[in-house]
């Protein structure tokens, strides 16, 4: 298939693009490089350096050849930042997604795989199923939910087949591929930067949540397992017109547990500073991934925190400045 990958210079998008190429697909990566890295774009992919809000560039790219599918990763992802500058997130994550859907439909694209998030849900003591109550606690999650809702309308009106994959906390690394956000906001790379001497201490936002140790609990899903979910969803869209799946390990780890595991894996002390809660953080978000397992045969291969952290640690040691030489 010919596949158009937005955000294909980013963490998950570039790894998925590489897997698609290895599976024999032709891939075009479309990325503004605002947060992505040109060096992350896999060899063998055509690269278009442009933003989704550039309507001319987008139309030109999507009409250059006949595309079978769009895989849409491009987004701002910092939940905390979305509460400080909501307009920026609505424009980039929703308005640009809408423009992409519109252009995809006009150019005859039939399949659309969307990078959604567990942030569409309300916090829950129980593992979250796809039927759990929706209720984003931050603007980031709301922009993703709005995009899912728009995709449903484009499915019913135009026949656009779509899969929305609700990621939990993406983490870990594959050979030559890992997290390199600037600035880095994710917990695991942040604590590993401390072990490398690139930062002084980890920040724990809130120690009074209704959890066993008072810190937020999250489900951490390895990069390789996310990639395999995308490949399976893309294939299933040939016969199915709508799929919404949680993509998580089903295991929850608190912020303190992650930091303590990082201390053991790296052999470094990793000091931590406790701060008040941050706006927009849910107490607990843990997946029930049973639906995607049953319907697509997906199985996560990396479900324990020491393994996940070890893969990330290897990446950060060998790439201390990310994709920069």
User: Measured at the alpha carbon of residue 12, what is the angle toward residues 11 and 13, in degrees to the nearest 5?
Assistant: 100
In Å, how far from its chain's centre is CA 266?
A: 25
What count of other Cβ atoms lies within 10 Å of the Cβ of residue 39? 12
**Among 223, 219, 226, 119, CA closest to 169:** 219
Please tell me the distance from the alpha carbon of residue 93 to that of residue 142, in angstroms, as a whole number: 10
Q: How many CA atoms lie within 13 A of 222 on its CB side?
A: 21
Read off φ and ψ for residue 37, nearest 5 degrees.
-130, 125
Find the catalytic residue in 140, 167, 209, 220. Answer: 140
Is the four-CA dihedral 247, 278, 133, 147 of positive or negative sign? negative
Active site residue 140: yes
Please tell me the distance from the alpha carbon of residue 122 to that of residue 137, in angstroms, as a whole number: 7
Element (H, E) at 192: helix 187-195
Which whole-number Å values give the CA distances from 149 to 20, 160, 218, 240, 242, in the listed order?
A: 27, 13, 25, 17, 12
Please tell me the distance from the alpha carbon of residue 142 to that of residue 162, in angstroms, as a whole number: 19
Active site residues: 140
């Amino acid at each position: 298939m010919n596949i158009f990958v937005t955000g294909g210079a980013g963490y998950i998008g570039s790894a998925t693009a590489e897997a698609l190429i290895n599976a024999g697909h032709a891939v075009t990566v479309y990325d503004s490089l605002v947060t992505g890295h040109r060096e992350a774009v896999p060899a063998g992919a055509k690269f278009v350096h442009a933003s989704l809000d550039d309507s001319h560039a987008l139309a030109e790219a999507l009409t250059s050849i006949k595309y079978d599918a769009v895989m849409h990763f491009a987004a701002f992802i910092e939940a905390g930042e979305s509460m400080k500058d909501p307009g920026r997130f609505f424009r980039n994550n929703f308005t640009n997604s809408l423009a992409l859907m519109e252009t995809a439909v006009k150019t005859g694209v039939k399949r659309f795989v969307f990078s959604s998030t567990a942030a569409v849900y309300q916090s829950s003591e129980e593992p979250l199923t796809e039927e759990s109550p929706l209720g984003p606690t931050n603007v980031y999650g709301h922009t993703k939910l709005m995009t899912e809702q728009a995709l449903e309308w484009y499915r019913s009106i135009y026949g656009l087949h779509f899969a929305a994959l609700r990621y939990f906390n993406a983490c870990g690394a594959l050979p030559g591929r890992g997290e390199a956000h600037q600035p880095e906001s994710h917990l695991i790379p942040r604590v590993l930067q401390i072990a490398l001497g690139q930062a002084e201490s980890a920040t724990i936002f809130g120690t009074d949540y209704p959890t066993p140790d008072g810190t937020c609990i999250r489900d951490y899903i390895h990069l390789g397992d996310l990639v395999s979910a995308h490949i399976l969803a893309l294939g299933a869209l040939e016969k199915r017109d709508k799929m919404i799946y949680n993509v998580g390990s089903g295991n929850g780890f608190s912020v303190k547990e992650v930091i303590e595991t990082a201390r053991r894996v790296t052999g470094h002390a990793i000091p931590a500073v406790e701060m008040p809660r941050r706006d927009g953080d849910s107490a607990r978000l843990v997946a029930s991934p049973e639906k995607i397992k049953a319907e697509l045969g997906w199985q996560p291969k990396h479900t324990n925190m020491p393994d996940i952290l070890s893969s990330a640690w290897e990446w950060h040691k060998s790439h201390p400045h990310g994709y920069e030489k």
